[in-house]
Copies of this chain bind each other. A is one copy, B any other.
Amino acid sequence: MPERTVFFVSDGTGITAETFGNAILAQFDFVPHRVRIPFVDSADKAHQAVRQINHVGEIEGKRPLVFTTLVDMEVLGIIRAGCKGMLMDMFGTFVQPLELELGIKSHHRVGRFSDISKSQAYHDRIEAINYSLAHDDGQSNRDLAGADVILIGVSRSGKTPTSLYLAMQHGLKAANYPLIPEDFERRQLPPALSTHRKKLFGLTISPERLSEIRSERRPNSQYASLANCRMEVAEAESMMRRSGIRWLSTTTKSIEEIATTILQELRPERLSY
């Protein structure tokens, strides 16, 4: 297939246009060249975006695909009038039917993030990231009562990226705690966690995948050996089963899938929905 460029045009960061546009493009066996044009918030910038898009279209001899999330009607108007690409106006398509349904007008204000740096939700999110960093890998037992979620599992089972994702995306204070040989010998959960059972969620992983991941860091070590990984995973799973903790296997799952499942299962109180 000949080269064809996809543009994501937004008056804000363009993250919504990209998330949505890429999800739609993932439905096609087609790897386009992608260009992000964020912060298009004036007539000048709109004209500049039109020139850029049309120029690329002429060079490629195919009209570019253009995903937009523009709320400024002047900017959108300029793009609509001048752009020779295939316009997918993601807001326009749904906002008008929603105005009718809700019986209220949309306000066409730019940017779901504008001034958000002063908002409580944003403040909480930054706090959650700091909390999750400070409580990564069992670094601190202080204030575990303040955690929304505490992930447990053997080393390299996926706890750290999942904790950070829960904090970054959902504003949750997500601690994580490694299960180590001492816990297996004692055959009990780490004592610091026993009073927080409701918030615990276990991550496990196939011993084969774990051995691969650990081998990247410490090749040919006892730590990374398949035999040791088998032992640790079996012990951790049996401990989680005995303790009645909910858990899942991360082996074939992305961070997003793991996080979504945890939210479904734990339903943390502080989560807005």
Contacts and interface: CB of A to CB of B under 8 A. Distances in A.
A256 B62 CA distance: 32
A253 interface: yes
A161 interface: yes
Nearest to A12: B257
A252 B117 contact: yes
Contact of A260 (B28, B39, B273): B39
A108 B1 CA distance: 20
Contacts of A71: 27
B88 A257 contact: no
B107 A29 contact: yes
B254 A117 contact: yes
A23 interface: yes
B273 A102 contact: no
Given A129-B164, A260-B39, A104 B30 contact: yes
Interface of A: 1, 4, 12-16, 19-20, 22-24, 26-30, 33-36, 38-39, 63, 65, 69, 71, 86, 88, 90-91, 93-95, 97-99, 101-102, 104, 106-109, 112-113, 115-118, 122, 126, 129-130, 133, 136, 160-161, 164-165, 168-169, 250-257, 259-261, 263-264, 272-273
Contacts of A255: 126, 168
A82 B112 CA distance: 33
Contacts of A263: 36
B273 A118 contact: no
Contacts of A19: 15-16, 19-20
Contacts of A112: 22-23, 26
Contacts of A101: 63, 65, 86
Contact of A254 (B90, B116, B165, B250): B116
Contacts of A36: 260, 263-264, 273
A24 B161 contact: no
Contacts of A133: 133, 136, 160, 164
Contacts of A273: 33-36
B252 A27 contact: no
A65 B102 CA distance: 10
Contacts of A38: 260, 264
A122 to B, nearest CB: 6
Contacts of A107: 27-29
Given A16-B23, A27-B71, 7 more contacts: A13-B259, A23-B112, A24-B91, A39-B261, A88-B97, A93-B93, A117-B250
